[in-house]
Structure 1
Amino acid sequence: MASKKLQLLMLGCLVSPAILQAQSLKKEYIRWHNSEGDKLSATVNVWNDHGKVTDDDNFFISRVKPKTRFRNQNTQVRTELTAENDKRLVAWIPFNNPETNALPDGVFDSEVFSLWSYVSHWGDWTAPLGRIPAALMDVAHKNGVAVSSAGTVPFGGLNDDWNRELRNIGLLDGNKLANFLYYFGQDGLGYNSEWREYGSITERLRNKHIEVNKLLKDKNPIFENMWYGLTGDNGRLSYTNTLDNTFAKTFGDNENKAFSLFLNYEWNHPQRLATSVDNAKKMGRDPLYLYAGVNMQGGEPRTSSWSLLKNYNVSIGLWGAHSKNMFWESRNEKGSSEETMQRSYMLRTERYFTGGTRNPANTPEVTNAMKYNVDNKEWHGMSTWMTAKSTLSWDLTNEPFISYFNLGNGKFFNWKGERKNNNPWYNIGVQDYLPTWRWWFSSELLGRSVPESGLDAEFTWDDAYVGGSCVRVFGSNANEYLHLFKTEYNLKEGDVITFRYKHLSGSGDVKLVLTAKGSEKQAINESAFELIKNGQEIDDERWIEKSFIVGSELAGKDLALIALHFENTNNINMYLGECSIVRGTATTPQKPNFLSAKLLSFNKAGVDGKLIFEMINKKSGNEPCYNSDVNVSLFKLWAQQEGAKEPTLMGITTSWAGMFYSIPLDLTTSSTKVRLGVSAVSLDMKHDSEIEWSVYMTTPAYTYNDAVHCSKNIIKPGEEFKVGYVDPRHSEADWVLKNDKGQTVASSTGTKEFTTSALKEVGNYDLVVTGDVHNEAGEKERKERTFKAFVQITGNETGALPQIQSLTANGSDSRIDVQANQAVTMAYTGRPANGKLSRGVNLKEKGFVFKASEVGLSSNKQAWTMSFWIKFNSIPTGGVQFLDMRDQYTKWPQNNWGCFWSSYYPADKTLNFTIRENRNGGTPEQKQNWSVEFEPGVWSHVTITMEKASNGVKEHLYINGKPATPKSYDYLGKGPGLVKDYINTTAWWDNNHFMLGFGRHQIAAIDGVIDDVKFFDKQLNDTEVEANMLSNDKNAANLKAFWNFEDNADAEHKFASVVAGTNVKSYRSGVEAGAGEGQGALVPVEPIYEAGSPFISGTAFSVETKASWKTRKGSFTEITGNDLQGSAKVTYPTGGDYTVTLTLENSYGKDQRTFQVIHIDATTGINETSTEEVKAYTVNDDILVDCAQAGAYTFEVYSIDGMQVLRNNVNVATGNTVRLHLANSGVYILKVKKEGKTLRTVKLIRK
């Protein structure tokens, strides 16, 4: 039986998507070029003439010097890989979204690539030649990775634009070009060289790059130009797919290097690879600078690729596609919420680079497949061919090693464990050094034996010490290592090694493991680096710092490995927040020098702004100045509203420029002026410069938000709710709620919002708003707008959103005082919220399919009707596939569009339906656009009918039983309204399937719930459509199939039709990729049952309210409860003030309330005491003392009669825990001294 997964069912009132959109980077915020359309040659000339390209240059200048990678065979997963056969990898692919690339943004769901240790060169395909966002270069340079831009020249003969530009590049002064690239931090230029020309353009271009390579050889060791292997030395197209005489000059010999060669996709023949390797060696070049091209979009080469490549010392080149890379483009395969897409992207990249196991120590066998999806579990991974590279080897005197495991994006921003703002953000440039191998778990240190079921690790965006993410480690195992960092730091006495974590739950022993070069498999004094002791107290709200001072055992050694050793773990769940090695005290940097500031936009979310600054330095001319040159790790970005007591830390950056998104403002104060500021942070992250502030600036003209919202998601008959504008500054309007008969049931005049309880009947209610509507220019016009089915009232029998009506502790609703280990009875009351209703299936972007022939279709010109209830969970900003009929296993592109297809576009509220005339490409299509508005959380009934006439067919659309409004058509002419002509279609495949919400290339699948899917072998008329909407008749005329999901799917995850005498089956479907592009077999996947439409009869889904309790350090027992009442007992072992949070949750949503405060007296029981410096508590037979500060401590334990029973003198490092053993039960006094001064005396009971 499939598990029931409860998800939020949003009914009540719809909310406009505009409410949920974060502030984001707009085109006009950052200027890429001096003049629109400038290419490389013009950009170089402008920079040489004026010393800048635009005033926004600091967004494009890297401030991180490329780090040097090192080799240590003893810390490789595959020790057989050497400098001769350790493949390189170029990712010649786009980064993030084409409109924003890697520039700082206010959008959490942005690309944070993190597997840099397996990449040698990133060719940013959507960065125009000669212009790359600094943030991308900064993170790549930290990891020793080169970054280049791309000249994306179209295939074939050179057009005038590129003919002129390539000529101009060849005529550029070589020194000027080299200086430009070096100053901005660019590591090469890449050319999509698939052109043909006859004027020596290619030759001059090649010679220019040979010249530049020589000029930059010593300045930038990772500098590398890329050339696609279609245009040969002579400027003509060549398809040899080999390094031969055709590309000899392009590749160049050791003294005249021009480009690295990206071989075209048919390199997959032994002779071609052997010839390429031999020729590279003859030319004195390393054959690893030949890249075997992989077309990720097209799945090329199609055969004999990976298994052949392993035998030749040729590297790997990834391409695909033109605007978004393939990891990023379809990351919505598991759902469209921002965090789900981030997790999917992370899994896609982890599996692609470290194998289907996400562990390079046990990758699957080599396959010739070309997959990059989330469940790519059989994939061998790039780690099969290459080692994980590291740069962690510099002199710690010059720069410490610090990682906060921050990816460079977040739903909030934390600094040193404190929440600074709740805005979504993105800046890939501040990404930390991340675990080198990702995730190398094994039963032995540097071992390859991996437990079948053991620990796991992932990045999480639920918490962060710095930034918006951290690493989570979780699971159970008796003995397992997690290898974190490959290093080669020479340690000195007094260096401080710090590890910071948060222990959420579970138990186990966790130690930090350090090994030295030459003895990589031998942990150095592991017992001295204890992080967590089995059975110790859990504090899931505090980041625990453990610092260790390097002594004689480590001093003078080269640190080779940082790892964690887990023993006896039982469901351990912990976050990793910091790993650092710091030598001495870093210099506090000078204050930045202000250049310019500007406020860019202002709306209800806040203010956007831009700040540009510089650091005073001694660099001259075209010499780049790096942050390390001015003692800076990064910069803090500040904002302050005039009159506010404290500024807000908005984020961090490595660039000498900062973007601010959604600066929060108090709109009730007299001034909305804002100033922007920046401070420089020292290399050890411990000291800040003064803040350099702009003047207070007047905010731009306010941009009004015309969206409306409702105060409740679930509304019952007669229940009070509120409707109004989301924007508190909006002007007043007139409001009317109408029932399905068009009658007014509630209204308000001249208000920004109104409250009503007048809706007594179950059903949908339209909202009519008459008020100001603003265009993009800020101009307003009074208009009447109607929001269909804005309010949905559902019956009491279907359940309700939980409400906590009271919450008490020992019968009190305010503070109580109790003793440690004394049970406290928590109790609550609530309103009726349980119920029963119809059951639906959550598609979660898997699609719902059934075979067309099984419902009686044998051609695409028969009459039929299909109807269903649907509720979108979320709607992406682009198109959403709606209903198609196609054969997924036919050839491309027919398997992408089929006989007919439809898509919903939320931006212009249009459902587009297309019927194809025949199966061939380029044939006429009948396109009909319908005016439709779907909103997340709102149930709608959809009916599609196919009308058959003597000369063809055309479709009709109904929403909630009423004909939808035809918007426009395109067939035998264009026009408004409904298409007049029928299309005499012959498009048909015998394996056709109806596909609801399945998805299509660059069109999202539906993330939503469906219910009561029906198919008729006739065209229903208007009256029949309306009657069918609420009908549960299984014997209706012409009904060929009916799936109401009241019964479970069978063992193959298929649903039987409930129509008597039919055997047609449907299922929630995934796709198993086939050999050709777009091909795939439809595969049934387990259905996810959820609450169905509340407007139809059904009882299969139970709405059950569950209570959950949460508190710090306490233990709950005797938990009972439902929607109406419940209780639990909680006990605390240690003294302190505690809060208890109750959550009541069902499939409609949840309600929370927190009880303040339970005070635990610390004078009896198993005690805890703490000061700023020490914290003492008992665990079983031991006293544990956490010491916040390093120093010489004395610990004295006395019996109750004053006899000393224990005394220990211990030199303690910052954050360490000292364990004192108590042999006998009784009452004891602990006295803690530091350097002779008594810090704390506490009474403890050992039971």
Structure 2
Amino acid sequence: MNPTRRTVLLAAAGSALLPALPATATAAPRAAAALQPYTSYWYPDSLPAGSPGAGITWRSLKSWRAAADADLAFNAAAVPLAPRFTPVPANATARADQARIQSLVSFGPTAGNPSQGSATADSYALTHWAYLDELVFWGGSSGEGLILAPIAPIVDAAHRHGVPVLGNVFLPPAAYGGQLQWTRDLVQRDAAGHYPLAAQLVAVAAAYGFDGWFVNAETGGGDSALGAAMLGFVKELKALAAAKGQRVTWYDAMTVNGSVSWQGALNGQNQALFQAADAMFLDFRWSAGTLAASGRKAEQLGRERYELWAGVDVESNGPDTSVDWDAIVPADAPHTTSLGLYRPEQTRNHLPAGHTPDDFHAADDRFWTGRSLDPARPDTTDRWRAPAVFVADRSTVTSLPFASVFSTGHGLRWYEDGAVASDTPWNHLGLQDRLPSRRWVVRTGGERPTVAFDFADAWRGGSSVLVAGALDEPAVLDLYATRLPIGPDTVVELTHRAETGGVRVELAVATAEPDAAGAAPPYTYLPLPAGSGDGWRTTAVRLTGLSGTVHALGVRLTAADGGPVRWRLGRLAVRDRATTPAAPTGARITAASGGDLRLAWNHPAPGTVRHYTVHRVLPDGTRRFLGGTCQRAHFAGGLTPAPGERAARLEVRAVGELYTSSAPATVTRAW
């Protein structure tokens, strides 16, 4: 078996968190002057000796200024952090007020991660946000940069689901290229005794729209003076961050005396650093005894035991990882601490070459939901204790209008109104919808059909929900836990298609919570008018006779002859009235090089916009989708003239929450 990056380092330097190999081994080569924007990364102050590898730009955080950041418009998140609520849990074992989950994810190479997605469907399209409380954008390396800011698409998707995102500060072990000078650079003080790089980190997070920092100091050789400086730095970082609504998580590596010694516990070696931060990730060497003692110690310090993340390394084996679950989240006692999942993108990375988005989501559902693939009926014999088994899901669906086209943030094609608008595979998490949190709860007295995101057809974006299989009894599919007000004009719209005949569809609406955890919502079933043919159709259902608040939405499917079904749901919307956003203004090309363009535009009411789409209009009038973004800037690359075309014509549209599109703003580029 090939060793993982982390096990290579373990042999040389002990237990460590390892974001990436040196940049020359991982970064995608690119021209230094390319217009394609990438994620931002820095060294604290001094730069390495020599020259950077291909496609890498060495930068100093100390000299960063927002006004001089040429890529800021592409990298700044646009979606604010959404509030969320916890419905009655889907099963009797999930708990709402105990262990939380942090996820440390490497979405791509430090220096080669495009700011606005790329032309492949092969990406870690995280969708199980309902179980997460914190996402760390993992990365950094000695050859590229040590401080990594999250790209906007990940932040926008996470915020849409109510999940904060942290950037990463990685001071690597010497065995991995770390230099103690970089640690000293980070904690340097100015003449007034302040830590200028603490202020810089907070300024970056504020400008980029993410939620704070994960500080991972693993370069050995420090002394007590450096330990004291680090403690002062973390204290000031937390104070400045708190004033901006940001947070700081500390990794259990450097101790208060400046040495690096992974404790796997909260104790006297790291207590002061934990107290200086908002939370701490405990190294993987914990035991049942040290976790129990750590939880007690946190409470003795006046802190919550759930502010400790017990690290579980799933990079190599994913849901086949052997874990002492009862040490962290015992089934018959209060949870001991929270859980820190290191590298759950294994669900993508372990797949063989040629895998599809369907393959990825099947593996990812196994990881987050468990072997049963139904959070309402967990498999108690499963050795992997999936998050859905012990953590209650959360939802952000609380206001009108609300709509979803079940976009997962990647696809094999791009669809608009049921037609293919681009044959190019794509990924862009900022275009991900608020997705059903309980995937997939199916309630039936008969054989259970399969339910999955499917990429062979869609109404908008790249995916739809496909229900397939035998249906010898009616089946109810839970879709969304909500807190949506019902008014006299409230309408629910479903865009769907039956690929086999004889499927009767009813909208399931619950205006109250279930009586107990694991129980079905008290649904009222509203029939949809019968249709014919196998094409997409949109049906509007008025919530006549209902009042108060919608707590849950689903569908009930009945096969006329009890036979197999194939039924797709492409869109669900809840509204009081139809709304269309205003058009963008001031569309312009801000930079150009051959067929590579940077576009920008303005909008009079950006808060009404879900995202923007960019199309190219060909000489014959055909519109071709080029990309979408939540930002008011977009990179379009590799354009070439069409036959007889003197100028490329591009259109930018604002797309509202209901997926209605504005009139276009047009810009041209002469060839």
**TM category, shorter:** 0.7 to 0.9
Q: Secondary structure at the match of 2:217?
A: coil
1:517 aligns with 2:542: no
> How does 1:500-579 map onto structure 2 within 5 Å?
500-518=495-513, 521=520, 523=522, 525-526=524-525, 529-531=526-528, 537=532, 539-540=533-534, 542-551=535-544, 553-555=545-547, 557-568=548-559, 569-579=562-572
Q: 1:461 aligns with which of 455, 464, 468?
A: 455
Q: In structure 1, how many angstroms separate the alpha carbons of the residues matched to 2:297 and 2:585?
A: 52
User: Unaligned regions of 5+ residues in structure 1, if any?
Assistant: 1-23, 369-378, 445-450, 602-606, 618-626, 699-1247
Distance 1:67 1:304, change over 3 A: closer
Q: 1:83 to 1:454 in 2, by over 3 A?
A: closer
Q: State the match for 1:295 in structure 2.
A: 313
Q: In the TM superposition, what is the alpha-carbon distance from 1:153 to its structure 2 partner?
A: 2.1
Matching residue within 111, 120, 130 for 2:124: 111
2:358 is equivalent to residue 343 of structure 1:
yes
Counterpart among 254, 257, 261 of residue 234 in structure 1: 257
CA distance change for structure 1 residues 235 and 302 in 2, over 3 Å: closer, same or farther?
Answer: farther
Structure 1 contact 498–545 (Cα < 8 Å) conserved: yes
> Are the structure 2 counterparts of residues 661 and 175 from structure 1 closer, same or farther at C-alpha, using a change threshold of 3 Å?
closer
1:143 aligns with 2:141: no
Where relative contact order (Cα < 8 A, 6+ residues apart) is larger, the structure is 2
Number of aligned residue pairs: give it. 605
SS at match of 1:353: helix
1:129 to partner: Cα distance: 2.2
Check conservation: 2:505, 2:558, Cα contact below 8 A. Answer: yes
Shift of 1:418: 2.6
Tell me the CA shift for residue 522 of structure 1.
5.6
Cα distance in 1 for residues equivalent to 2:628 and 2:439: 26
Amino acid of the structure 2 residue aligned with 1:188: G
| From 272, 286, 300, the counterpart of 1:267 | 286
Instruction: Measure, in 2, the Cα distance between the counterparts of 1:584 and 1:132.
Output: 36
The residue number in structure 1 matching 2:326 is 307
Pair 142,360 (structure 1): closer, same or farther in 2 beyond 3 Å: same
Of structures 1 and 2, the larger Rg is shown by 1
Is the 1:633–1:681 contact (alpha carbons within 8 Å) kept by the matching residues of 2? yes
Give the corresponding residue for 2:82: 67
Within the alignment, does 1:611 sit opposite 2:599 as a pair?
yes
1:348: Cα distance to partner? Answer: 1.4
The correspondence of residues 770-809 of structure 1 with structure 2, limited to 5 A, is none
- Identify the residue that residue 198 of structure 1 maps to in structure 2: 223
Are the equivalent residues in 2 in contact too, given 1:200–1:235 (CA < 8 A)?
Answer: yes
Do 1:90 and 1:120's aligned partners in 2 also have CA atoms closer than 8 Å?
yes
Secondary structure of the 1:274 match is helix
TM superposition shift of 1:242: 0.9
What do the CA deviations read for 1:1062-1098 (whole angstroms, capped 9, x no partner)?
A: xxxxxxxxxxxxxxxxxxxxxxxxxxxxxxxxxxxxx
CA 1:663–1:403: 2 relative to 1, 3 Å: farther
Please identify which structure carries the higher strand content: 1
Which one-letter code corresponds to 1:659 in the other structure?
F
Deviation at 1:304, TM superposition (A): 5.7
| Separation in structure 2 between the aligned mates of residue 390 and residue 25 of structure 1, nearest angstrom | 40
Question: 2:386 maps to what in 1?
Answer: 381
Evaluate the alpha carbon distance shift between residue 459 and residue 211 of structure 1 in structure 2; reply closer, same or farther with a 3 A threshold: same
Contact 1:30 1:56 in 2 (8 A): no
Secondary structure of the structure 2 residue equivalent to 1:392: coil
SS of the aligned residue for 2:502 comes to strand
Match of 1:331, SS state, is: coil
Instruction: Show the 5 A alignment for 1:1118-1157.
Output: none
Unaligned stretches of 5+ in structure 2?
Answer: 1-27, 47-58, 141-145
Q: CA deviation at 1:347?
A: 1.4
Take 1:388 and 1:33, find their aligned partners in 2: how far apart are those partners?
Answer: 30
Flag the structure with higher helix content. 2
AA matched with 1:656: R
Q: What amino acid is the match of 2:123?
A: S
The equivalent of 1:353 in structure 2 is 368
Counterpart secondary structure, 1:546? strand
Contact in 1 for aligned 2:37/2:635 (Cα 8 Å): no
On the 8 A contact 1:288/1:315 being kept in 2, the answer is yes
Counterpart CA distance in 1 for 2:104 and 2:283 is 13
Aligned 8 A contact 2:139 2:148 in 1: no
TM-score by length of 2: 0.82
Identity across aligned pairs (percent)? 20
Aligned AA for 2:269? T
The answer to whether the Cα contact below 8 Å between 1:592 and 1:680 also exists between their aligned partners in 2 is no
Of 36, 40, 50, the match for 1:30: 36
Q: 1:462 to 1:161 in 2, by over 3 A?
A: farther
User: SS at the partner of 2:582?
Assistant: coil
SS in 1 for 2:139: strand
Aligned equivalent of 2:426: 425
Q: CA deviation at 1:498?
A: 0.8
- Taking the aligned partners of 2:322 and 2:424, their CA distance within structure 1 comes to 47
Matched, 1:442 2:461: no
CA 435–683 in structure 1, closer or farther in 2 if over 3 Å, else same: closer
State the alpha-carbon separation in 2 of the partners of residues 471 and 635 from structure 1: 23
Q: CA deviation at 1:677?
A: 3.6
User: Contact conserved, 1:505 with 1:572, CA < 8 A, in 2?
Assistant: yes
> Aligned in 2, Cα 1:281/1:418: closer, same or farther, shift over 3 Å?
same
**Residue 227 of structure 1 aligns to a residue in which SS?**
strand
2:396 corresponds to 1:391: yes
What is aligned with 1:472? 466
Q: Name which of 246, 251, 269 aligns with 2:274.
A: 251
Kindly tell me: are residues 56 and 522 of structure 1, through their superposed partners in 2, closer, same or farther at Cα, counting changes over 3 Å?
A: closer
Amino acid aligned to 2:315: Q
For residues 570 and 189 of structure 1, do their structure 2 counterparts lie closer, same or farther at Cα, with a shift above 3 Å needed? same
Give CA-to-partner distance per residue, 1:378-423, whole Å, 9 cap, x none: x332212211221112x32xxx211001112222211122322222
Report matched runs for 1:753-772 at 5 Å.
none
Aligned counterpart, 1:632: 609
- 1:651 aligns to 2:627 (yes or no): yes
Q: Distance in 2 between matches of 1:331 and 1:69?
A: 33
Which of 20, 34, 51 in structure 1 is aligned with 2:67? 51
